Structure 1
Amino acid sequence: MFLINGLEQDTLAANDRATQFGDGCFTTARIEQGRVSLLSAHLARLQLACQRLSIVFNDWALLQEEMCQLAAQQEQGVLKVIISRGAGGRGYSGAACLSATRILATSASPSHYARWRSEGITLALSPVRLGRNPYLAGMKHLNRLEQVLIRSHLEQTDADEALVLDSEGWVTECCAANLFWRKGQDVFTPRLDQAGVNGVMRQHIIAQLAASPYQLIEVVALPEALADADEVLICNALIPLAPVQHYAGLDWPSRELYQYLAPLCELSD
């Protein structure tokens, strides 16, 4: 189901800047028991992205109401929310856009995530690297061509997810997930000030670790750092957490951190 500016429809103006330039931002949330998990965090992500992209959007209460209404229509599923700068004008200038466009869509939950959680996943190193851009780093903006290419290469392998580096060769994230690894009581995650997406579940896990026996360290690391890990995990708002079982001849049978975090990742607003 699609809802565009409050109307049930699946047609977008051809001159909307979402299609013309990828000029906008989005978030993807899990629907659980008819509610949007981590609703306030998803709204905060959109608000921050609109601020950084200079998109004028003030209908936050209406958007929240629409998100909750769509979620209430299904027990479980996925809710995607897009905000574009709107329609109007030509060229790169957005001065002619009179109002932002809000797009909401629901779909079924990915069925393979349950298997990922129970069995663990395999990573493959992606040949596609992320460009470094501190101005856009961390945001989930609509320019996702890098991820499309990463996914295309991933589908040519037997792996479940991709280990993605930036253009300098530093570990950054996965195709559609963030990455953590544990060595003893230290938990590492890549810094995302140059590239990558600072996911809602990543932020949630960092907050949970702050009150845990573990010490979180945001690092700039090469892929070889994983060889020294006791455990590797991926997360996103939909999974929400899965252990990594295999990567490049390495195996991680430990589930210590996974068992600690998994119940905490089920928390909602």
Structure 2
Amino acid sequence: MTLPQVPFDDRGLAYGDGVFETVLLRHGEPVLWPYHVARLVRGCQCLGIPTPCQAAIEATWQGKATAPLEVLKLIVTRGSGGRGYALPDPPAPRLLSQRTVFAPMVERWKNGVTVRICCLRLGHQPALAGIKHLNRLENVMARQEWRDAMIAEGLLADQQGQLVEATSMNVFWQQRGQVFTPPLDKCGVAGTLRRALIDQGAVSEASLSLELLPRMERVWVANSVQGVWPVHTLLSEDNVCLQRFQGDRHDKFQTLAHRLLGYAPTPMQ
């Protein structure tokens, strides 16, 4: 595969001036595709980048599949040009894509995962909240906080200590039998699986402080590529155990989410 070359003056490279999507392909067909396109369009609109035409976006996944499961990454940048932060006039957006073979971490579906609370706190920027823009430095910095392979994810809160997301996944919890996820109107990435679950009526938005998280009945992290990982152990910023959550061999939340992604239910051990 010949990878696309990004010019030195591309604004996505220079400033993070663009958006991206990571899409699960099943037998060459994109999963949750309308949700990914909608978020891509919204991200371009938020940044004032002309959205590539629908035919160009659709062409990124059309073609022979190389494996039963692949991941398609789409990147839209504003293109090249402009003086400093000033915008090019007219802009010539650049659409890049790449497909790679993928295998989900099934053992994490079955056995659950350990997650830790990150020290880094997310800043509020409502103008960018929800979209998957190319400047993900907060997430990169948070991911540097641990190297232990036994820790699968890190949970991120905002400056007020309100839970927002994980470094590369959305976070969900169960309280009194209902499943919730944080609102993402001030910061964070609104995942496509998260949106689909809300539309299904399976998840509601609610705020939750970090100090209350250990009191919840269950916790999950999830995205549209890896699926749902039940959390069995929650660690503090200092890697002290805060809570061990009980698993469920018949995890209804995971089953529903995996049905949306085309993954078979996998009972926890």
Please say whether Structure 1 and Structure 2 have the same fold, judged by a TM-score greater than 0.5. yes
Could you tell me which residue of structure 2 aligns to residue 57 of structure 1? 51
2:171 corresponds to which of 169, 176, 179: 179
Could you tell me which residue of structure 2 aligns to residue 162 of structure 1? 154
Aligned positions of 1:96-111 closer than 5 A: 96=89, 98-109=91-102, 111=104
2:27 corresponds to which of 33, 38, 55: 33
Q: Given the superposition, is the C-alpha separation of residues 183 and 91 from structure 1 closer, same or farther in structure 2, using an over 3 Å criterion?
A: same
Instruction: Kindly provide the amino acid, as one letter, of the partner of residue 19 in structure 1.
Output: L
> Conserved in 1, the CA contact under 8 Å of 2:72 and 2:99?
yes
The alignment partner of 1:241 has SS state of: strand
Instruction: Kindly provide the amino acid, as one letter, of the partner of residue 97 in structure 2.
Output: L
Which stretches in structure 2 are left out of the alignment for 5+ residues? 236-240, 263-269
Instruction: Kindly provide the amino acid, as one letter, of the partner of residue 135 in structure 1.
Output: A
Deviations 1:69-100 (CA, angstroms, capped at 9, x unpaired): 37x34321211101011111330011335310
The alignment partner of 2:21 has SS state of: strand
Instruction: Kindly provide the amino acid, as one letter, of the partner of residue 233 in structure 1.
Output: W
Deviation at 1:263, TM superposition (A): 4.1
Higher helix share: 1
Deviation at 1:57, TM superposition (A): 2.2
Could you tell me which residue of structure 1 aligns to residue 205 of structure 2? 218
Aligned positions of 1:66-145 closer than 5 A: 66-69=60-63, 72-96=65-89, 98-109=91-102, 111=104, 113-145=105-137
TM-score between the two structures when normalised by the length of structure 1: 0.88
In the alignment, is residue 46 of structure 1 matched against residue 33 of structure 2? Answer: no
Instruction: Kindly provide the amino acid, as one letter, of the partner of residue 129 in structure 2.
Output: A
> Conserved in 2, the CA contact under 8 Å of 1:22 and 1:141?
yes
Could you tell me which residue of structure 1 aligns to residue 232 of structure 2? 245
> Conserved in 1, the CA contact under 8 Å of 2:52 and 2:95?
no
> Conserved in 2, the CA contact under 8 Å of 1:139 and 1:197?
yes
TM-score between the two structures when normalised by the length of structure 2: 0.88
> Conserved in 1, the CA contact under 8 Å of 2:67 and 2:101?
no
Q: Given the superposition, is the C-alpha separation of residues 188 and 257 from structure 1 closer, same or farther in structure 2, using an over 3 Å criterion?
A: farther
Q: Percent identity?
A: 30
Instruction: Kindly provide the amino acid, as one letter, of the partner of residue 227 in structure 1.
Output: P
The alignment partner of 1:206 has SS state of: helix
In the alignment, is residue 258 of structure 1 matched against residue 245 of structure 2? Answer: no
Q: Given the superposition, is the C-alpha separation of residues 96 and 156 from structure 1 closer, same or farther in structure 2, using an over 3 Å criterion?
A: farther
Deviation at 1:133, TM superposition (A): 0.7
Q: Given the superposition, is the C-alpha separation of residues 97 and 126 from structure 1 closer, same or farther in structure 2, using an over 3 Å criterion?
A: farther
d(CA) in 2 for partners of 1:40, 1:232:
27
Which stretches in structure 1 are left out of the alignment for 5+ residues? 2-7
